[in-house]
Each structure stands twice: as structure tokens, then as C-alpha cells.
Structure 1
């Protein structure tokens, strides 16, 4: 029963962030920062940030870590949803309500209760959708994402199996609200949690694939996310548990998804060059195009 619960929750969250990110991409234009075109050098910058962030979190006193995470969540929500909610006071009021709901549910019900995980997951999913579009609409290409995920595969494997940094970070946030993860826990037996970084990887790849190759890219992205992002890590964990007689401490999802996503990029690349942001029109832009041409 627990395996089916994990599969259901993991698939739902993985597909939810992908659907949300692509829907945002299709209907909203995020403000693009004046940083030029995204290129391969930026991969090293992002990877450096990814490498440093866990150490920063672990260096913080326990009581400070949830405050920092709450501020990160609030900042991501504010920037990403400014095009949707132009009124600053209303936007910040809604953000404050979302952030407060996580704290209140954690205080009232505890970190293992469904209300807390539902509230925290909603915030995390919305932040991932925001971060995805800020990057993809800011110029990130599918090739950038593919190489980044391949590097992330090596990173996650090393810090899960050689240096247990990922496990230490997971233990550091236990007992506090604002976990950098989404999921659901029901009682002591049923639980499924997906890291925020994994959700961001799924959303980035799917949204970039859609931007680059349209509906074909979207289908490839959704299939890879479902099979290798959501299902395969749970199945691999179950198989290894049966073989060893005990559950391993951690099986990073990117070890399975990263290589599959890279192969998916290589497959899509055969269809030709990627589309740019300038080649992707909003529905209202398409409707206005004939009028503009006629004029």
C-alpha cells in the first residue's frame, strides 16, 4: 500500500509542477532580468550556487533556517507572480497568507500531519513554477537544462553516497516549518516526499522542451518526468530494499532522471534548432497578429 501511495503522490506532484509551469509559460510573460542571453557559463554559476547553498543552510542556527526559507519562498512568489497580481499590497497580502498557513498548520497539527504538508507543498509548487519561468523566459535553453541535470546527477550521487550532505540537510530541517520539499504524510505508515530541487528539475526540463520543440517537446518531457522522475525512483528504491532486506538511506531521483533527460534532449535535438522566446507567442499575441499584419 505504501508503494502505491508514494507513486500516486510523486506522480501528482511531478506532473502538477510541469503542468503549472507550462501553463504559466503559455499565458504569462515574466519580467526578464537584464542579464543578457543564458549560456553555458551560467551553468557553472548555477552549479556553484547549488553546491554552496546546502552548506549555508547547515551553517545557520536551527531557529534561523526556517526564517531564511520563509523569506526565500516569499521572494520567489513575489517576483514570479507580479505579472499576475500587479497590485503590490494585494500580492504581498496573499503571499503572507500562504506563508502564514504553513506556520500555523505546523504549529497546530505538527510536521507529520496532512494539513501542514498540503500547505507547505502548495507554497513549494508555486515557488517552483515561478523559478522555472524566470529561468526559461530569461533565456535558458533545453541544452542548458540537459547539461545542468547531467551535472546535478553527479552532484546528487556524490553528496548522497560519498559525503552525506543531503541527508544532513534533511535532518537539519526536521522539526521546523518551511521544508524545501513537497509531499504528503498520513499517519506513521504512509508518506511520500519530493525535494524542491527535483521538482524544479522536472519543471525546467518540461517547460524548456515545450519552448524548444512545441507539443512534441512537451510530450517527451511529460513522459520522461512520469517514468524516470516519478515512477522509476520509487520502483528502484523498492527493488533495492527487497534485495538488501532493508531500505537504503537515500536514492537520489536525479540519478535516474538526469541521464534520461539528457538522452531526451539528444532525441529532440534531431528535430532541428531550438525555438527562442521570440519565436513563442502568447495566445493573445496570435490573435492580434493578423490585425497587426493588416495594418
Structure 2
């Protein structure tokens, strides 16, 4: 029963952030940051940030860590949803209500109770959707995402199985609110949790693939997320437990998804050059509401509107 619950929760969360990120991309145009376009140097910088962030978290006193995470969540929500809620007071009131709901549910029900995990998961998923679109609409290319995820797979494998940094970080946030993860726990036996970084990887790859190649990119990304992001890690964990008799403490999802995403990118690349953000226009109804992105122009390499 536990394996099916874990599979259901993992798959539902992965698909939720993918659907949310793509829906945001199709409906909302974020202001383009004045930083140019992403290139190899940006990916190196992102990887350096990923490498350094766990050490920063572990260096913080235990009681300070949830405060920092709450501020990170609030900042991500503020920037990402400004185009949707222009009124600053209203936007911050809603953000503070979301942040407070996580703390209140943690204090009232505890860190293993469903109300806390539902509240925390909503905030985490909204932050992931926001961060995804800031990157995708900021100009990141599918090539850059695929290479980043491949490097992330090696990083996660090393710090899970060679240097147990990932487990140390998971232990550090135990007992505190604002876990950097989404999931659901019911009692001691049923539980499924997905790291915030994994959810960001799924949403980032699929949304960028949709921007680059339209519906074929969306289908490819969604299939890879379900098979290699949700199903493969859970199946591998229980398979290892069945064969060895000992359940592994941690099997990084990116070990499966990172290489699969890179192969998916190589397959999509055969369709031609990636569609850039400059080639995406947002249709609007008479009331001004943004609608599905479409391809501008009929130049070589352009594809039909997704």
C-alpha cells in the first residue's frame, strides 16, 4: 500500500508543477530582466549556486534556517506573481497568509500531519512555478537546461552516496516548518515527499521544451517527468529493498531524470532550432486577457502554434 501511495503523491506533485508552470507560461508575460540571454557561463554560475547553497543552509543555526526559507519563499512568490496581482498590498497580504498558514499548521498539528504538508506543498509548488517562468521567459534555452540537469544528476549522486550532504540537509530541517519539499504524510506508514529542487527540474525542463518545440516538447517533457522523475526513483527504492532486504535511505531522482532529460533534448533537437522567447507572442482577447502563445512569422524553423 505504501508504495502505491508514494507513487501517487510523487506523480501528482510532479504533474501539478508541470501543468502550473506551463499554464502560467501560456497566460502570463513576465517582465524580461535586463541581463541578456543565458549561456554556458550562466549554467556554471547556477551550478556553483546549487553547490554552495546546502553549505549555507547547514552553516545556519537551526532556528534561523526556517526563517531564511520563509523569506526565500516570500521573495519568490512576490516576484513571480507581480504580473498577476499588480496591487502590492493585496499581493503581500496573500503571500503573508500563505506563509502564515504553513507556520500555523505546523504549530497546531505537527510536522507529520496532513494539514502542514498540504500548506507547505502549496507554497513550494507556487514558488517552483514562479521560479520556472522567471527563467524560461528570461531566455533560458532547452540546451542549457538539459546540460544543467545532467550536471545536477552527477552532483546529486555524489552528495547522496559519496558525501552524505543531502541527508545532512534533510536532517537539519527536521522538526522545523518551511521544508524545501512538497508531499503528504498520513500517520507513520504512508508518505510521499518530493524535493523542491526536483520539482523545479521537472517544471523547468518541460516548460522550456514547450517554449522551444510546442506540443511535441510538452509531450516529451511530461512523459519523461512521469517515467523518470516520478516512477523510476520510487520503483528503484523498493526494488533495492526487495533484493537486498534493506531500504536505501536516499535514491536521488535526478540520477534518473537528468540523463533522460538530456536524451529527450537530443531527440527534440532533430525537429530543428529551438523557438526563442522573441518568437512567442501572447494572444489577447478583447478584455485584454492573455491567451495561448503562438509563433510569430513564417521564417525557416518556425513551427505551428502549440
Is contact 1:121-1:182 (8 Å) kept? yes
Equivalent pair of 2:27/2:291 in contact (CA under 8 Å): no
Structure richer in helix, relative to its length? 1
Q: Using structure 1 for the length normalisation, give the TM-score.
A: 0.96
Q: Which secondary structure state, in structure 2, belongs to the residue aligned with residue 283 of structure 1?
A: strand
Please list the CA deviations of residues 157-198 of structure 1 after superposition, one character each: whole Å capped at 9, or x if unmatched. Answer: 000000000000000000000000000000000000000000
Match of 2:6 in 1: 6
Q: What do the CA deviations read for 1:63-104 (whole angstroms, capped 9, x no partner)?
A: 000000000000000000000000000000000000000000
Please list, as runs of the form range in 1=range in 2, the aligned pairs for 1:126-275 lying within 5 A after superposition.
Answer: 126-275=126-275
Aligned position for 1:292: none
Partner of 2:119: 119
In 1, Cα distance between equivalents of 2:283 and 2:234:
38
SS in 1 for 2:194: strand
Moved over 4 A (4+): none
Query: 1:26-67: per-residue Cα shift (whole Å, max 9, x none)?
Result: 010112211111111100000000000000000000000000
2:37, 2:138 within 8 Å by CA — same for their partners in 1?
yes
Contact 1:185 1:191 in 2 (8 A): yes
User: For 2:173 and 2:291, how far apart are their aligned partners in 1?
Assistant: 46
Q: After TM superposition, give the deviation of residue 286 of structure 1 in Å.
A: 7.9
Distance 1:231 1:176 in 2: 28
**1:105 paired residue number:** 105
Aligned to 2:93: 93
Cα distance in 2 for residues equivalent to 1:197 and 1:210: 20
Counterpart check, 1:51 vs 2:22: no
Structure 2 residues not aligned, in runs of 5+: 285-289, 295-306
Q: Secondary structure at the match of 1:35?
A: coil
Q: 2:61 is paired with a residue of what secondary structure?
A: coil
Preserved contact between residue 26 and residue 291 of structure 2 (Cα < 8 Å): no
Q: Does 2:69 align with 1:69?
A: yes
Q: Whole-Å Cα distance in 1 between the matches of residues 123 and 262 of structure 2?
A: 29
- Check conservation: 1:26, 1:283, Cα contact below 8 A: no
Q: Is the 8 A contact 2:14 2:225 kept in 1?
A: yes
Question: Structure 2-normalised TM-score?
Answer: 0.93
Provide the secondary structure at the position in 2 that maps to 1:13.
helix
Deviation at 1:283?
A: 2.7
CA distance in 2, matches of 1:55, 1:156: 14
**Whole-angstrom CA distance in 2 between matches of 1:32 and 1:54:** 29
Structure 1 unaligned residues grouped into runs of 5+: 290-295
Aligned partners of 2:280, 2:32: CA distance in 1, in Å? 15
